[in-house]
Every structure is written in structure tokens, then in C-alpha cells.
Amino acid sequence: MLVQGFDDLLHFGVLLSIVVRWAVSRFPYSGAGKPPMFGDYEAQRHWQEITLNLPAEEWYRNSTQNDLLYWGLDYPPLTAYHSLICGYVAKFFNPDWVQLNTSRGFESYDHKIFMRSTVLIADLIFYIPVILYWTTVARPHKLRDKAIAASLCLLYPGLILIDHGHFQYNSVSLGLTLFAVVSLMRGYDILGAAFFTLALHYKQMTLYYALPFFCYLLGSCMHLPNQKGAIKFIMLAVTVLGVSGLCWIPFLKSVDDALVVLQRLFPFSRGLYEDKVANIWCVLSIFIKLKALFSTSSLVILSTASTLLSTLPSCLLLLKNPSMHKFRLALVNSSLAFFLCSFQVHEKSILLPALPILLLLEDHPLASTWFAIISTFSLVPLLAKDGLIIPYVALSSLFLIGVIRAYEELLLSFKSKQTSVASLLFCLSLSGCLVLVFSMFTIQQPARYPHLHVLLNCIYSAIHFIGFAIYFNYLQFREMPWTVCKGKNKVK
């Protein structure tokens, strides 16, 4: 009877998450009906057009057939291969969708259904299965808690709104990363290294997780006897190099071909941050004009040094104590440090810290819920531009209600002074979000400050993200693991 209830609850959560994804896809997307550049929807369609019609060595090169100023491909090879597969399927249904040069801005009803379906299929292949595995198989929790955690992770508003609303394929790189985490947790370190290398070659922003993976794997080698540790290190290196080589085969014909791709992947000329983003540099720029005071090269050095210094304590601790518990928290701390301090950050990059924080939902429901709500709130200016405020409000409310119903004893209990203060701050924080969202649509900005609402959102969100970074670093240094030694079970 208990297992049947678990199955029913889990099936309902999965089906609800799929229905919600498709419902959000019925709303506008990035750049809908806005020539000449349109938006991310057109970028993904254009990459299908380019990869399908041009040889691989021309995908990242500027030419008469491939104008890089018009949504030039700037993601790693696995994204290009994904676009190529989608391009073949698109050509099967309608060649006009991916006709070279003449298909720009194509927005028919059938094509929208096709494009939205590709995102949902990516979720069904790469993201939903591994979330279900993590929450229902890998964790030592009660059946009911497993089903609730799976449903809530799948209903995280930020990822749904960006992938199925704004239009991207973040679920692929996040799913591959989670496959890597699960592999490490099960003791399959070589397989985990392979999956993470694939994630890196889908989206370069996955570098946000690179230092924890490196320190965990290197630390595990260092804690083995000399010969075994050396053999494992060599096997890991061969795996990373081998998988990378397979991904880069079309671009290794010459050094120039490889450099062209690298230049597209790391476009330092774009500036310190993308638009208005809730990180340290954007907030500081309100008061100190960093771009006017420093050259681009100086800002690259400054941001890189700041990022490495921010991640150093967490990574050194993980290197010394490569436990799975420390590793999970290090993923949070590293990705938050990269979001707050690194060069050329997009507002959508907040999804990278969100994944490992969602994995802590059962252990830290208040902190994880709080971050999920604030991270989605930080996307409001982008969502407003795309016409996605209605699904933002609906999904945030659905997620919050689900968490409160599931974890109300932990979220809303006032049995201790510590819980009382945390719950009060949580409520005040959410109230601030409501006030700022309401103000954005009811209070006209002064002509002198045309970006006031966006900047207030950035400042408010950045303050929270800095607080989360401090809190999760504290947890990594002070907290006991979630799997406690009992009998034959070992802390992992």
C-alpha cells in the first residue's frame, strides 16, 4: 500500500512537470516577432541551419555563408552536433525551416511546435530520468519524501521558464552534469569524468563546476596507495582527453581550426557581464564605472583572480577530504563564486548554482526553496521582456505551495529561536520580491533612471546570492554529512 502511494505520487509529479513544461511553451519566446535579430529561439534555429548546410570546419568561421554577427555559433561542439541532429529532423518535416540564408526568422506555427518539442524531448532524455534516479534511488530517505523531492526538482520554475519559455537547452548540460554526480556517488569515477567532460563540451559555462570535480577526483587519487592512485589518475586523464578528442575530431585538422572554435567559446570582447546581471560586478558598476576605469584585459585578470580566491577555501577542503557530502556543497560554492565573480556572466547562468542546490532540497528545504525562489526572481527582467510574467507568477506559486505542503514542519515551524528567525527572514525576503515585481508593472521609472527596476532587481538578488554563498561555505566547513555511519554504512 505504501509503495502504491509512492508510485501514484511520483507519477503525478512527473506528469504534472511535463504538462507544466508544455503549457509554458505556449507563451512567447525570446525575440518572438522582433526582427532583424529576433532572439534565442532564432539562434537555435539558425544553428540548425548552419550545421546542416555547411561543413564542420566552417561552423565557427565568419564567411559569406556564415555571418557570425547573426547569431554565430558560440557553444562547444556537442551543442553543434545537437543542432545538426535537430536540423536533419527539421529538414525531414520541412526543408524551408533550415534553408541556408533564406530561413532567417522563420516562425510558422508548425515550426514552433517542432522547436518546442525538441526542448521537451531533451528534458525527457537527459534531465528527467537522472533527477528521478537521484531522488528515488540514490538517497536514503522515506518513499514519500523521495517522490516529493523528485516532483519539486522537476517543477523548479527557473529552468522551465528559461528552457521552455525563453527557449534554450540547459537541461542537456545540467542533466549530463547530474549523470556525472550520480556516477561519482556510486563509485564509478571514470564514468563520472566522462559524463562531466561531455557536459563541458555541450556548454562552456559548465566550467562553473570544474574545480570541485577536479579536486574531488584528484583528492580520491591522493588518498589511494601510491601505485593505485597513480593508475587511477592516468585513467582519469586518458578518459578526459579521449572524450574531448572525440568531441573535437572535426576541428583538429589544424591548429587554426581549433583556435577559431576557442575564440568563439570565450568571447572576452563582449565585456565584463551580459546586460544587467545580479552579480558583484554589475552591482559595483552602479557606483564605480569599472569598464571606464579598467581595460578589458585588466577586468579579465581581476574577475579571474576574484573567482579563484572565492572558490579556493571550498576546493582545498574538498581536496583534503574528498567526500561526496563535501563535493555536493563544493558544487554549490564554486558555481555561486563563478556567477558572482567571473567574467562575462549571463543572468541565465544562475541555473548552474540552482542544480546542486536543488539536490540539497531534502537536507536543507528552507535554504534550497529560498534560493529557488530568489534565483527565479532574478530572471524577472528577462522574463518580462519575453512576455513570461504570468507563467513566472504561476510556477513560483506552484513551487512554493508544493514545498510548504511537503516540508511545512521545517519551513514554518517556530519551535526554536533559530528556526523562527530564519522563517521570518524567508517571509520578508519573499515579500520584497512581491513588492519589486508589483512595482515594475505599476510604478513608472524616472526618465533619468530608465533601468531603475532592473537595477533594483539585480541589487536585491545579488545581496541574497552573496548571503547564500556565505551560508553554503559555512555548511561545507561545519556540517556533518547527510549519510551518517550506522552499522556497516560508511560516510560518503
Q: What tens digit of pLDDT does each residue of 43-62 get?
A: 999 999 999 999 999 999 99
- DSSP structural state of residue 294: S
For position 450, what pLDDT does the model report? Answer: 85
For position 390, what pLDDT does the model report? Answer: 96
Distance in angstroms (rounded) separating the CA atoms of residues 216 and 194: 14
At residue 276, what are phi and psi to the nearest 5 degrees?
-105, 115
Q: CA quadruple 109, 112, 117, 118: dihedral positive or negative?
A: positive
**CA distances for 172 relative to 49, 111, 120, 357, 447, angstroms:** 20, 21, 11, 18, 42
For position 134, what pLDDT does the model report? Answer: 86
Which stretches in the chain have pLDDT values below 70? 1-7, 138-143, 407-419, 479-492
Distance in angstroms (rounded) separating the CA atoms of residues 355 and 484: 24
Distance in angstroms (rounded) separating the CA atoms of residues 253 and 259: 11
Whole-structure pTM value: 0.93
Q: What's the residue count for the chain?
A: 492
Of 60, 18, 381, 277, nearest in space to 171 by CA: 18
Yes or no: say if 476 and 333 are a contact pair by the CB < 8 Å rule: yes
Yes or no: say if 407 and 364 are a contact pair by the CB < 8 Å rule: no
Of 85, 192, 139, 249, nearest in space to 492 by CA: 139
Residue type at 363 in one-letter notation = D
Assess whether the previous peptide bond of 28 is cis (omega < 30° from 0): no
Q: Which residues contact 330 (CB under 8 A, 6 or more apart)?
A: 211, 212, 215, 216, 314, 315, 317, 318, 476
For position 305, what pLDDT does the model report? Answer: 95
Burial environment of residue 321 by CB neighbours within 10 A (0 to 12, 13 to 18, 19 or more): middle
Distance in angstroms (rounded) separating the CA atoms of residues 463 and 416: 26
At residue 27, what are phi and psi to the nearest 5 degrees?
-90, 170
DSSP-based three-state secondary structure for 345: strand
